[in-house]
Amino acid sequence: MKKLILSVAAALCVSVMTAQTPTNPPSTPATPGNIQAPNTVSDQFRIDYPNTTPNWTMDGTNYRGEYLDPATNARRSVIYDKNGKMISREELINRKDYPAGINAYYAEKYPTENYEVWSTTDASGNRSYYTNRNNEKITFDKEGKYKSNSGSSKAKSKK
């Protein structure tokens, strides 16, 4: 009789516990800065940058893989189209590695602000530079001459 009572009690406990488990748990919203890239893109990244793990985000209709270069510990990113074709590479660069015109621009326009300069190299090897300031991206040509401001920038200082 004790075994029967214990069996019924155990069955009742299991029934009560499963009733507490939601059948449709609330979905967690997708993190805006972390997506899954298609296999064509992630496979090409693994070929181009072995032993490196990117954080994937969208850049328009393209995929941006942000990562730390294991050799230099520098912040970098690479942008691929949906077919895995590299569009451009970007890297945070040191003051000694970018043209003096960028410093002159900031000294004149925003003398009290700190800034980071990113180098962009497209698939053809053309180089340019940019900085992020509030919600704008300020671009410079390969000589460091001001080119333009755009209204929406990707904040790079999060890493």
Q: Would you say residue 104 has pLDDT above 90?
A: yes
- Rounded distance, CA 36 to CA 88, Å? 19
Q: Would you say residue 120 has pLDDT above 70?
A: yes
Residue type, position 45, single letter: F
Residue 102: the pLDDT is 96
Which domain range does residue 66 map to? 44-93
**135 within some domain:** yes
**158 within some domain:** no
Residue type, position 106, single letter: Y
87 and 54 in a common domain: yes
**147 within some domain:** yes
**73 within some domain:** yes
The pTM score is 0.67
pLDDT in tens, 41-63: 999 999 999 989 999 999 999 99
Q: Would you say residue 154 has pLDDT above 70?
A: no
Residue 1: the pLDDT is 56
Residue type, position 100, single letter: A
* Band of residue 30 on the pLDDT scale cut at 50, 70, 90: very low
* Band of residue 21 on the pLDDT scale cut at 50, 70, 90: very low
Q: Would you say residue 89 has pLDDT above 80?
A: yes
Q: Are 120 and 126 in contact (CB under 8 A)?
A: no
Average pLDDT, the chain: 81
**12 within some domain:** no
144 and 100 in a common domain: yes
89 and 100 in a common domain: no
**35 within some domain:** no
Q: How many domains are contained in the chain? A: 2
146 and 108 in a common domain: yes
